[in-house]
């Protein structure tokens, strides 16, 4: 079984296409990413650096709204029910 992963090099656009509920995470973290023309180019890493959000925190938050396990930097974060 393939487990969808959230990777740091996915663009904002790719993330929003795969996990539309991630919109709320970008807004919660006070980013202007959804709707920005740069969403086609900015990666999750770019967002974390630009808005000074810890990358791991951002990835876990996106995973929590997408109800998916993520794998980042060799560490697995899973939503436990």
Please compute Rg for the chain using Cα positions.
12
In the 8-state DSSP scheme, what is residue 4?
P
Asked if residue 60 lies in contact with residue 76, where contact means CB atoms within 8 angstroms, the answer is: no
Residue 63 CA to residue 58 CA, distance in Å, equals 9
What predicted TM-score, i.e. pTM, was given to this entire model? 0.73
Distances in Å between the Cα of 61 and the Cα atoms of 1, 37, 52, 56 are 23, 23, 15, 9
Tens digits of per-residue pLDDT, 10-27? 999 999 998 888 999 999
Angle at 59 (CA atoms; ends 55, 64), nearest 5 degrees: 150
Tens digits of per-residue pLDDT, 31-41? 999 999 999 99
């Amino acid at each position: 079984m393939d487990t969808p992963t959230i990777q740091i090099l996915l663009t904002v656009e790719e993330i929003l296409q795969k996990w539309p509920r991630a919109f709320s995470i970008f807004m919660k973290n006070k980013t202007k990413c959804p709707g920005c023309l740069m969403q086609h180019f900015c990666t999750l890493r770019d967002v974390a650096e630009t808005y000074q959000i810890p990358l791991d925190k951002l990835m876990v938050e996106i995973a929590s709204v997408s109800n998916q396990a993520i794998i980042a930097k060799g560490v697995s974060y899973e939503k436990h029910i």
